[in-house]
Amino acid sequence: MFNNSCVLVTGASRGIGFAIAKNFGHQGAFIIATATSDDACLKLATILQEDNIQAKVLKLDLGSTDSIANFLLEVKELNRPVDVLINNAGITRDNISLRMKASEWDDVLATNLSGTFKLTQGILKGMLRASYGRIISISSVVAVIGNPGQANYCAAKAGLIGMSKALAQEVASRHITINIIAPGFIETDMTKVLSEEQRAFLLNQIPSKKLGIPDDIAHACLFLASPQAHYITGQTLHVNGGLYMQ
Ligand SMILES: NC(=O)c1ccc[n+]([C@@H]2O[C@H](COP(=O)([O-])OP(=O)(O)OC[C@H]3O[C@@H](n4cnc5c(N)ncnc54)[C@H](OP(=O)(O)O)[C@@H]3O)[C@@H](O)[C@H]2O)c1
């Protein structure tokens, strides 16, 4: 389905981002994948190559404006217009609000929201020239239901929803769709930190009685990036086992 497409996935070294890169790669796409360190880039490039996925792996730190600018130059030098941008990378710095340090707030907002906007702005220029594009940003169920200890993360993830709706209206007439996927709780490094007690409490809240897997999010990305989804824009697709129903 994605032969000849170029798909850029941020934070592709692990978890959900890796599943997204792998799924698009298996559908024939050329993948531009990112990780934050040289080691992670090398490891990811090897894994993708062993899986016969055509890819270029580049270093990107969304918390640094210089890193984003440098990355955008590297993407330009590849001479491959990006058809699909998946804004997947994200971090957490959890703390209850009264104890939250300014740096914990700033890091999460800078990486998850401001960095994602700056990258999107850069990639959007090429999509406008091509008069085609698909942008999907990975938010979270907690953007709409909240979560104690995650005021910074909830604010950033809710910001992505507003940002995407505004951008979607600006570029809809140019055959560019911009949507959000809001995962519930998915088995990755990010949720490994949950204690047995927290996990049991969570499972009790989820009607399907299980956490999702990274492929569940990747499959939703494949759908929203497909030509068949051309009339869907500015939407949030919740993938959460029923934890939250709109
Ligand atoms: N897991 C869940 O239950 C869940 C639920 C809702 C939403 N989400 C969202 O889904 C996305 C992926 O989550 P995940 O669970 O797969 O996360 P993860 O396993 O922690 O992986 C995070 C990815 O982001 C990259 N990354 C970290 N800091 C970065 C930075 N400053 N700049 C650019 N990339 C950076 C990491 O690269 P390195 O390997 O180089 O560190 C890694 O590839 C995130 O946006 C997360 O908020 C996850």
pLDDT at residue 23, as a whole number:
98
Report which of 232, 244, 191 is spatially closest to residue 214, judged by C-alpha positions: 191
> Is 25 in contact with 55 (CB distance < 8 Å)?
yes
Identity of residue 241: G
Would residue 153 show up in a list of annotated catalytic residues for this protein? yes
* Percent of the chain surpassing pLDDT 90: 97
Which two structure tokens, joined as six digits, stand for 198? 């927290």
Q: What is the pLDDT of residues 137-186, one digit of tens each?
A: 999 999 999 999 999 999 999 999 999 999 999 999 999 999 999 999 99
Count of C-beta atoms within a 10 Å radius of residue 102 = 7
Segment 194-219, tens digit of pLDDT: 899 999 999 999 999 999 999 999 99
- Structural domains in the chain, CATH included, are 6-239 (3.40.50.720)
The SS3 call for residue 58 is: strand
The strand ranges marked E within 65-195 are: 84-87, 133-138, 176-183
pTM of this structure: 0.98
241 CB within 6 A, ligand 1:
no
Atom of ligand 1 nearest to the CA of 61: 32
